[in-house]
Amino acid sequence: AALAAAALVAVVPSAAAAPESAWEMNATEQNATAPPSLVSAASVAGCPPPGFASQQRFDLGDFVHRPWYVQQRMRGAGKTPSMSNLCIVVVYDMRPRRSFWGYDITLQVRSRDDRFPHAWSSRDDFCARIRDRYTGKFTVAKCSTPSVFAGKYWVVAHDEQEGFAIVSGGPPTRPSSGVGCATGMGNDSGLWLMTREQRRDEFLLEKARSRAMDLGFSLSVLEDIYQGECSDINFDGDFHV
């Protein structure tokens, strides 16, 4: 959205309401069907491509159990926690219970400043609410923002064996200047290509880019994130990367 990263009408949750479990789910947002296999569907039938869907049979436990390194992201995504282009790494930290504002996950984001001496910065003020844990649908915003105002944050591809994931700000709803579609630039915006390993693997990144194109996304909106000289980063808790 980062990670990357990572944004906004309904009634604000009552303070007296008991928080739901972090693993308790709302009803599925929609009955998704299999995504198209060719990007040509986007250019012929419009945006989003017919049948566009998030990841089916999504495994939330697999997705959150290790850090993700952002290799490419959409330029100017509204809810990206870090605007740096250096060493962006995201940890999804499950909360023991849903927060007062309705969030289940805290996004821990670390990155280096683009400017010399490239100091590390740390943010944990973005949170996610699970909307459908079985198809990878979340909404994300500042943790202090009621979750009813949060923007879409969908895992549209997750291959744990290959070690990559693609996250978008919901369906790509507008035609891109290149081939394919892109998300908007407001609340429901963003596209992130992430890998489990920090070191850039061109072959694996090309697989992720090909998957994104198959889903109907334009690759022209993406920018590279530099993941070199990032080994001195630390996370709180059990994560040391």
pLDDT tens for each residue of 29-75: 333 333 444 444 444 468 999 999 999 999 999 999 999 999 999 98
Q: Is the pLDDT of residue 240 over 90?
A: no
CB contact set of 206 (below 8 Å; sequence gap of 6+):
none
Mean pLDDT for 107-123 is: 84
Answering whether pTM is above 0.85, one says no
Determine the pLDDT at residue 28: 34
Distances (CA, A) of 56 to 110, 187, 225: 29, 24, 27
| pLDDT-derived band at 16, boundaries 50, 70, 90 | very low
Mean pLDDT for 4-24 is: 32
The full DSSP string for 158-214 is EETTTTEEEEESSS--EE-SSSSEE-BSSSSB-EEEEESSSS--HHHHHHHHHHHHH
Q: Is the pLDDT of residue 212 over 80?
A: yes
Least confident range from 60-64, 150-154, 183-187: namely: 183-187
Determine the pLDDT at residue 237: 38
Give me the amino acid identity at 83. Answer: M
Determine the pLDDT at residue 124: 83
